[in-house]
Amino acid sequence: MGNTKYDSCSERDLWNLVRTGDEGAFSFIYREQVKYLFTYGSHFTNDEELVKDCIQEVFARLFHRADKLGETTNIRFYLCLALRNEIWMEYRRRKRLPLSAMDELPFLANFYLESPEEEPLQQHLEKIVETINLLPHRQKEIIYYRYIEELSYEQICRIMGLKYQSAVNLVQRSLKKIREIYTHTFSYSDLPLALFFILKMHLFVNK
Amino acid sequence: MLKGCFHGDVELSLAVHPRYAKNKKMKDDLSLNDPEREEFDELYRTLSRKLRVEHKELPDPEVEELWQQLISTVRSRKKRLRIHLLMGSVAASVALLIGTLFYYHTRSGDIDRDDILHAAMNLNRVDTLEQISLILNDEKEIAIAENNVEIEYTEKGEVQVNSRPIGEKAAEEAETLTYNQLVVPPGKRTLLTLSDGSRLWVNAGTRVVYPAIFHRDRREIYVDGEVFLEVARAEHAPFTVRTGALDVMVKGTSFNILAREGEATRSVVLVEGMVTVKTAHGSMTLAPSEMLEVKNGTERIRKVDVNRYILWKEGIYLFDNEPLHVIMEKLSRYYGKRIICDEASGGLICDGKLDLKEDLERVLNGIAKTAPVTWKQSDETYQIAIIR
């Protein structure tokens, strides 16, 4: 935004300025993050107005409760956490769902491959992506954090409100589902390939 | 869990794990002597490099618009918000109304006219309540345990509930208008008489914001939900009902308005008199028995059987050619209970009349007798299923 004063700040310092009520820093963070937050929030609902409203609410609270904020070195993560919670609360309120119905928050976004590969690799990849897109919402969400956003396990637990073990279980369920669908669609000769891929994912997410 | 995130103990390092580290970890984990290993590595690497997710982007010009909207709201909301937070309320809906406000600013450019929307925005929307709730300007909240109550404002702005004065002054002696708010939760209804004698039948799940005493030369209220109005005649003080998406301007007339934030279909049904409805696309005038329906941005005026749209105030619901799931949605709101239809039963097309004065279970029994469905209750939910 061409504001060198804030550009050169570390995230921690910038955040601390917001905590002291610095409107310039608040504005800087807003402009820097709002597009990302909109994109992130839109994964949960097609209602763009709802996403915008929730973003505004998150920032309004940030503004009013600046003095009560804790420290952070990762502003974007902090805001995503707050936004997801806000969207969930609003979604639940509109659908009149009980607090316990977390599983019902949609994760609508579909995965795709950026550019085609050579056959037969392309065909395998497409099948895997197709399989991922058929997973339940929470499982798609966890794959999104892991593969698109590349969050740590700790962060995933935090943002999805899961205990470590639940997150592991969730991933294992996803992998099992992928394996089921995948092995159904591939011929026997392709099977080792599929299993190997899944094994690798497994090792990767468990670390 | 997530709720306390603003107390802020988020202290994590940056999100990004360098990709090469992942691959290295993978290699370490795979101490296999698989002849096809290279191929698999390639598959994995390619996937993690190419996996993308569909996404929407906020256009650049909107960033500035949203920012302006936010900053003007947070400045004007500063005091009030603290009270709401102390009350433990999420106040998410306040933000919901920000959009509405901005919309009117850009459209009319008439700041004075936005009083009622300001008020509606600043008042906390408390629709998780179980009781009818009257919120006076000084943040005093009166919860009313009964259903089908009558609330009346006298000309001086004093409030009576079921003809009993509540001993609260609804309005201060002041130059500026003071706004009151009535919140009717699902399962309840209220008859509200305003200080000018206009009467509003307020349906379940509705919020109304209005001044305790009207301005001398104009009357404005805000509605989020469904009301039937009989507007008292006053030549020199036009009456306007404002909602997030449309305004209805009247002189003396009766009509039903259904405009709930977050719902796609909004409608105005005129019973008698004349109203002008202003939407995002322009103004149009309705004649008696006409209905304006705004759905997904398209507007349509047609002749209707008005009874179908206003009998709810007598506790009767008429419908023809309506899928059962729509009927169940209305019942759900009317009774404040969660009702779920399975796919097959939800699609049944029904004609008929329901007497809503009875309790929900009797209404469901009535439906189960005439349509091939059964219902059962588990936890707090009623489930409707087709009989095969």
Res B83: pLDDT: 32
- For A:4-23, CB contacts with B below 8 A are none
Instruction: Tell me the per-residue pLDDT of A96-105, one tens digit each, with 9 for 90 and over.
Output: 666 556 567 8
ipTM above 0.90, yes or no: no
Candidate ranges A42-46, A100-104, B174-178, B300-304; pick with highest mean pLDDT: A42-46
3-state DSSP helix/strand/coil percent for chain A, to nearest 5? 70, 0, 25
Residues of chain A with CATH 1.10.1740.10: 11-95
CB within 8 Å: A158 and B26: no
Candidate ranges A26-35, A183-192, B20-29, B336-345; pick with highest mean pLDDT: A26-35
Q: Summarize the confidence of residues B218-227 as an average pLDDT.
A: 88
Nearest CA in chain B to A42: B56
Q: Is the peptide bond before A120 cis (omega within 30 degrees of 0)?
A: yes
Q: Summarize the confidence of residues B217-240 as an average pLDDT.
A: 86
pTM for this one? 0.45
| Residue from A158, A21, A205 nearest B13 by CA | A158
Output phi, psi for B213, to 5 deg.
-125, 135
Q: Which two tokens stand for residue B386?
A: 């087709």
Q: Which residues of B touch A78 (CB under 8 A)?
A: 5, 8, 10
Res A184: pLDDT: 61
Nearest CA in chain A to B186: A96
Fold of A110-206: Arc Repressor Mutant, subunit A (1.10.10)
- For A:137-176, CB contacts with B below 8 A are 144, 147-152, 154-155, 158-159, 161
Contact B2, A84 (CB under 8 A): yes
Q: Does B32 touch chain A (CB under 8 A)?
A: no
Asked which of A117-126, B65-74, B171-180, B323-332 is least confident by mean pLDDT, the reply is B171-180
* Nearest-CB residue to B2 (from A81, A144, A150): A81
Instruction: Tell me the per-residue pLDDT of B255-281, one tens digit each, with 9 for 90 and over.
Output: 888 887 767 788 889 888 888 888 877
**Mean model confidence pLDDT for chain B:** 71
Tell me the count of A-B CB pairs closer than 8 A.
209
CB within 8 Å: B10 and A70: yes
Instruction: Tell me the per-residue pLDDT of B72-115, one tens digit each, with 9 for 90 and over.
Output: 888 765 444 333 333 322 232 332 333 233 333 333 333 334 56
**Which residue blocks in chain B are alpha helix, DSSP H?**
19-29, 37-50, 60-86, 92-108, 115-122, 306-310, 324-335, 343-346, 360-370
CATH placement of domain A11-95: 1.10.1740.10
Q: Does A126 touch chain B (CB under 8 A)?
A: no
Q: How many residues can be counted in chain B?
A: 388
- Asked whether residue B19 carries a pLDDT value surpassing 90, the answer given is no
Bridge partners (DSSP) of residue B161 are: B151, B164
Q: Does B2 touch chain A (CB under 8 A)?
A: yes
CB within 8 Å: A74 and B14: yes
Output phi, psi for B295, to 5 deg.
-140, 125
Check residue B236 and report its DSSP letter.
T
Residues of chain A with CATH 1.10.10.10: 110-206
| Positions in chain A whose pLDDT score sits under 70 | 1-4, 96-103, 175-207
Instruction: Tell me the per-residue pLDDT of B114-138, one tens digit each, with 9 for 90 and over.
Output: 567 766 766 655 555 677 888 776 5
CB within 8 Å: B66 and A52: yes
Q: Comparing B191 with B163, which gets the higher pLDDT?
A: B191
3-state DSSP helix/strand/coil percent for chain B, to nearest 5? 30, 35, 35
Asked which of A183-187, B6-10, B352-356 is least confident by mean pLDDT, the reply is B6-10
| Residue from A177, A138, A172, A173 nearest A156 by CA | A138
Res B100: pLDDT: 31
